[in-house]
């Protein structure tokens, strides 16, 4: 038992990598500056709090993990993530102040949540503890009860749950476990991936490049896993000509992958152009314009995995 080690040194390099990546993005996509200035405060807070968060994931042996993944069962369906309600509440208390300073909409949302808590209509800690990628009804019900927008409440709740689940995923998952996992949903939490990353494959032979490898990123728990390169994550099609993409020459590191058969799409980044770890929240936030482009072509986001 125990939470995964996270040293101050790691956090400092994570902060540096985040800032470096944010700068590169702003150079290419300056329209995101105002939004990013605020959300960087949220992401930094998530990184700086890693040492203070309390999670005691059920201790799993490598064989237990592999066996579960071999059967296609996300780990959360079998094992206890051990996320502590008090830890969620502590980070929520900290995040509230960040959001209050964000903008009028966020400030008002925080005030309504505080009010609902005072009148006994809403208990943030137990509500946050119940959050799972597939339990969207929890957000929908609470947003109706409190009287705030669903997407605003989802943003607030993910800001608090994400770093907790990131520690759970780090504790449970090692790269060598993932060879057993061939599915498109997340091996830890079962969530639908939010982002695809392509990286150059390695053949180990100089001068010979392999086909690029495709990785999925989970925006709920930060897991990253490899998937087959040409299969559609939504309908599973491997038909010739179904895998299509949209891109512009202005943004060589971004594109949209979609399927001609089911018309689902997912946002894609070129991992070879990003140094250091991918911070999925940052990438999704600053690729939001891709959703407008895709939806303008009558494509729908990935909602269920093949």
CB of 167 to Zn ion, least distance (A): 12
* DSSP code for 175: G
Q: Measuring CA to CA, how many Å separate 213 from each of 25, 44, 94, 286, 289?
A: 23, 29, 39, 23, 25
CB of 188 to Zn ion, least distance (A): 5
73 contacts Zn ion (rule: CB under 5 A): no
237 contacts Zn ion (rule: CB under 5 A): yes
79 contacts Zn ion (rule: CB under 5 A): no
User: Binder to Zn ion among 65, 110, 167, 232 (CB under 5 A)?
Assistant: 232
User: Binder to Zn ion among 226, 235, 243, 246 (CB under 5 A)?
Assistant: 235
Cα-Cα end-to-end distance for the chain: 34
- Say how far apart CA 261 and CA 117 lie, in whole Å: 46
User: Binder to Zn ion among 234, 287, 290, 294 (CB under 5 A)?
Assistant: 234
Closest to 305 in 3D by CA, of 148, 187, 198, 207: 187
Contacts of 180 (CB under 8 A, 6+ apart): 66, 69, 70
CB of 173 to Zn ion, least distance (A): 10
166 to 205: interface string for Zn ion, x by CB under 5 A:
--------------------x-xx-x--------------
Burial of 118 by CB count in 10 Å (0-12 exposed, 13-18 middle, 19+ buried)? exposed
User: Binder to Zn ion among 18, 152, 256, 262 (CB under 5 A)?
Assistant: 262
Q: Give the 3-state secondary structure of residue 225.
A: strand
CB of 263 to Zn ion, least distance (A): 8
**39-47, 138-146, 171-179, 210-218 -> range binding Zn ion (CB under 5 A):** 210-218
Nearer to Zn ion, 66 or 224 (CB): 224
CB of 162 to Zn ion, least distance (A): 10
Distance, C-alpha 13 to centroid of its chain: 20
Closest to 197 in 3D by CA, of 246, 268, 252: 268
Q: Enumerate binding residues for Zn ion (CB under 5 A).
A: 186, 188-189, 191, 218, 220-221, 223, 232, 234-235, 237, 259, 261-262
């Amino acid at each position: 038992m125990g939470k995964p080690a996270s040293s101050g040194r790691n956090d400092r390099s994570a902060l540096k990598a985040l800032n470096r990546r944010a700068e590169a993005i702003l150079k290419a996509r300056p329209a995101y500056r105002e939004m990013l200035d605020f959300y960087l405060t949220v992401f930094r807070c998530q990184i700086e709090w890693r040492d203070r968060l309390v999670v005691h994931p059920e201790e799993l042996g490598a064989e237990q993990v592999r066996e579960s993944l071999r059967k296609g069962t996300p780990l959360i369906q079998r094992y206890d993530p051990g996320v502590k309600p008090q830890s969620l509440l502590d980070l929520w208390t900290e995040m509230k102040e960040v959001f209050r300073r964000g903008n009028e909409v966020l400030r008002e949302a925080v005030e309504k949540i505080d009010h609902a808590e005072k009148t006994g209509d809403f208990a943030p800690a137990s509500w946050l503890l119940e959050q799972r990628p597939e339990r969207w009804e929890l957000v929908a019900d609470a947003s109706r009860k409190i009287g705030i927008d669903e997407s605003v409440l989802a943003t607030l709740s993910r800001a608090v749950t994400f770093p907790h689940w990131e520690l759970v995923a780090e504790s449970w998952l090692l790269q060598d476990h993932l060879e057993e996992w061939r599915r498109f949903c997340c091996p830890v939490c079962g969530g639908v991936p939010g982002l695809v990353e392509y990286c150059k494959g390695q053949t180990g032979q100089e001068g010979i490049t392999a086909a690029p490898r495709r990785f999925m990123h989970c925006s709920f728990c930060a897991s990253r896993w490899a998937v087959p390169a040409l299969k559609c994550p939504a309908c599973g099609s491997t038909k010739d000509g179904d895998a299509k993409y949209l891109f512009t020459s202005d943004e060589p590191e971004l594109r949209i992958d979609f399927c001609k058969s089911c018309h689902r799409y997912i946002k894609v980044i070129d991992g070879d152009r990003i140094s250091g770890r991918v911070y999925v929240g940052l990438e999704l936030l600053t690729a939001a314009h891709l959703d407008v482009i895709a939806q303008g072509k009558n494509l729908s986001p990935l909602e269920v995995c093949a």
